[in-house]
A and B are shown apart, each in its own frame.
Chain A
Amino acid sequence: MSGESDILTGDGRADDSPTNGSRSGGSRTGDSWSGYVMIGALGVVLATLPFVFGASGYYSRLLDLFLLFALLAVALNIVFGHTDQLFLFVGGLAGAGAYTTALVAGALGVSAWVTLPVGILVCGTIGALVSWVSAKRKFTVILISILTLNLQLAFVEFFAGARSITGGSTGFPFDGLALADAAEAIGIARNYVLYYLLLAFLVGVLVGYRRLIDSRYGLAFDAIREDEVAAAAVGIDVVRYKTIAGFLSAAVIGATGVMLAGFEGYITPSLFTFLGVDVLVLIMLVLGGLRTTIGPVVGAALVIAIREVLQRTTEYQTAVFGALLIVLFLYFRSGVVPAVGALIGRYGGRSRGKEGGERADPDPDESS
């Protein structure tokens, strides 16, 4: 218990050692290489999934949903996992990205692809601003979480309430990404066009994530998480690094929000609620493993799979997720990927547990 309890805030890195410890140790560059191999393997496996599941519209929907949430979880991992800033407005940020992109595109009469950078930039700026203010004013994690929870509720309230701009709670249709046209041109299902688009985006984000964590930014994040005062004392600009983390996470979340709207084909406030997005993303991230490269992706696959099974078998799926949230945080904060890695490290006779984590990844999808 006491061993596990450090994981959340990272007071001590000793716990991570079977899986992550080597990453922060001397063999940083060697490890990062295996990190990229892992991402490549993950990409290849995920790329074959549409062939496994075939043309079924049902499964193609699930696969899209899986990647959308995986992206959100990876994004939250940067800001929450690595810099301890608990953003509880993932849904709101995704919504801000989607609404901004779609509304600006509509106003200018151009494709949403053109205005996508605007949406991303707006979200990134919001994230950076929140992080900057929080870091400047030395907010604790609880203050950031309350602040962002308030923003989350305010955003959704605004989406629903500012009817003249956002179309209110019924929203408006959105096909700005022209997925249907692309599907027709290429000759594969619309959901799979989006799937490969999302996969490319996810692999890109994961590679960016590895580069970030292996660079001096990763070192700075580690130092800040361990002891902010000490980090500042050795010359790390705490405010700057936290702000950058906030910007990057929020930007990825914003872009994913646009994709989510493209996936649904419409934009409504109900897509971006706290209970519908944030709670799930948090469960995914912690279940998969905070501060791991593929953990958030594994977590997303597991949670989407669990949700599907529950949806078919019980009306109590919300209750199960509530219980899951409690149990995960009380007993299993290390996450699946580190746990599997540690198991393989222990019984497989290999000191490097991380490859085990890699192997564990594709399996969860099959269960859906």
Chain B
Amino acid sequence: MVAVTTLIEVTVDGIAFGLFLTLLGVGITLVYGLGEVLNLAIGMFAIVAVLIASALTNGGVDLLVAALAGVGAVGVLSLVVDRSLFTLVYRSEGEQRILLGIFVTLGLTVFLEGVLFNVFPSRYSLPVDLGTVGVGPVSLASSSLAIIAVSAAVLALLFTFLERTFLGRATRTVFQDETGALLVGVDPRRIRTLVFVLSAVVAAVAGLVYASSATIEVASGFEFTVFALIVSIVGGVRSVTGAIGAGVLLGLVITYANFFIGSFIANMILFATAVVVLLVKPGAISL
């Protein structure tokens, strides 16, 4: 019989992992909702931030500076991608653009993986030991608590941005009706750039926080993308709140299954969930 304390600890870890996936999944959701580009490179952005930060700290740079450099680098990278590759993708329309988006971001993932693997062939994490926090008999991993805190903060900021600011409202306008947005003077292209860079930066932050407790490798990038994609699917690809629920749920399922029955079954459950959701309610995804 598993002790209740263990159960609580695993639950907290699961929520943390789920929120990490949510941050990536929301990135996919927002970018897809705005411009119909399914960003299959989002996991790679998280990885790039971690690798840069990790390399810098190994070179003696202060952790905070290194982390900021990692996030900044991803911001620049995503801006370059948006201005170059995505500009070409956005020239197409409808299903054409969706397909192009898949192939271009998939190609980007393969490209980045090919480049990065030569420079970073092993596993990396951030040199930070947050230790554990004791709450009565339960000792929780501080990194999990940090992920939950950071994710909650980022998501709160995101909601504030979407609900309260002018740019956020403009974003939602483009989300709902692109022509209407144009008519009231909102430039959809600029909004797309803004939100894409924002999603990449959020992914970078998520990756950094994740790497404070776990090691990652270059190949993790695509894995994260797939998990995030599933979160996005299960939550409904155009719904931000749905992504949060789906992320936490999937995070819990993966972590529980990993802990109690091993990663094979955990992953099978994950893929099966995604397939079932796709088959049962494809309309809700409205891709």
Give the B-binding residues of A (Cβ under 8 A): 1, 5-6, 8-9, 11, 86, 133, 137, 139-143, 145-147, 149-151, 153-154, 157-158, 160-162, 275, 279, 282, 315-326, 329-330
Contacts and interface: CB of A to CB of B under 8 A. Distances in A.
B113 A146 contact: no
The main secondary structure of chain B at its interface with chain A is helix
- Closest 9 A-B residue pairs measured CB to CB? A322-B111, A318-B114, A319-B114, A161-B264, A322-B110, A325-B107, A326-B107, A154-B271, A329-B103
Nearest to A319: B114
B103 A325 contact: yes
B110 A133 contact: no
Interface stretch (B45-53, B149-157, B279-287): B279-287
B96 A8 contact: yes
B110 A150 contact: no
A154 B104 contact: no
Given A1-B91, A322-B113, A157 B271 contact: yes
B131 to A, nearest CB: 33
B114 A157 contact: no
A143 B113 contact: no
B34 to A, nearest CB: 15
A293 to B, nearest CB: 23
Nearest to A168: B264
Given A279-B106, A319-B114, A142 B98 contact: yes
Contacts of B282: 137, 139, 143
Nearest to A317: B114
Nearest to A154: B271
Contact of A318 (B100, B113, B268, B272): B113
Nearest to B89: A330
A106 to B, nearest CB: 22
A278 to B, nearest CB: 9
Contacts of B287: 140, 142-143, 146
Please classify how large the interface on chain B is, using the bins under 10, 10 to 19, 20 to 34, 35 or more. Answer: 35 or more
Contacts of B85: 326, 330
Contact of A153 (B92, B111, B271): B271
B159 interface: no
B284 to A, nearest CB: 12
Contact of B233 (A140, A146, A320, A324): A146
Nearest to A163: B264
Contacts of B117: 318
A329 B287 CA distance: 21
A334 B106 CA distance: 20
The main secondary structure of chain A at its interface with chain B is helix
B278 A143 contact: yes
A360 to B, nearest CB: 24
Contacts of B133: none
Given A137-B282, A140-B287, A330 B88 contact: yes
B267 A5 contact: no
A11 B96 contact: yes
Interface stretch (B12-20, B168-176, B222-230, B242-250): B222-230
A161 B265 CA distance: 8
A150 B113 contact: no
Contacts of B110: 275, 279, 318-319, 321-322, 325
Interface in B253-279: 263-265, 267-268, 271-272, 274-275, 278-279
B268 A142 contact: no
B95 interface: yes
B8 interface: no
A137 B278 CA distance: 10
A325 B278 contact: no
B102 interface: yes
A288 to B, nearest CB: 16
B262 to A, nearest CB: 8
A161 B111 contact: no
A315 B285 contact: no
Nearest to A316: B114
Nearest to A318: B114
Contacts of A321: 110, 114
Contact of A149 (B103, B226, B265, B267): B226
B109 interface: yes
A153 B104 CA distance: 20
Nearest to B281: A137
Contacts of B95: 9, 140-142
Contact of B100 (A8, A145, A322): A8
B56 interface: no
Interface in B73-100: 85, 88-89, 91-92, 95-96, 98-100
B16 to A, nearest CB: 23
A150 B271 contact: yes
A150 B230 CA distance: 9
B235 to A, nearest CB: 14
Contacts of A323: 107, 111
A317 B108 CA distance: 14
B257 to A, nearest CB: 12
Contacts of B263: 161
Contact of B114 (A154, A161, A322): A322
A26 B108 CA distance: 42
B26 interface: no
A161 B278 contact: no
B205 interface: no
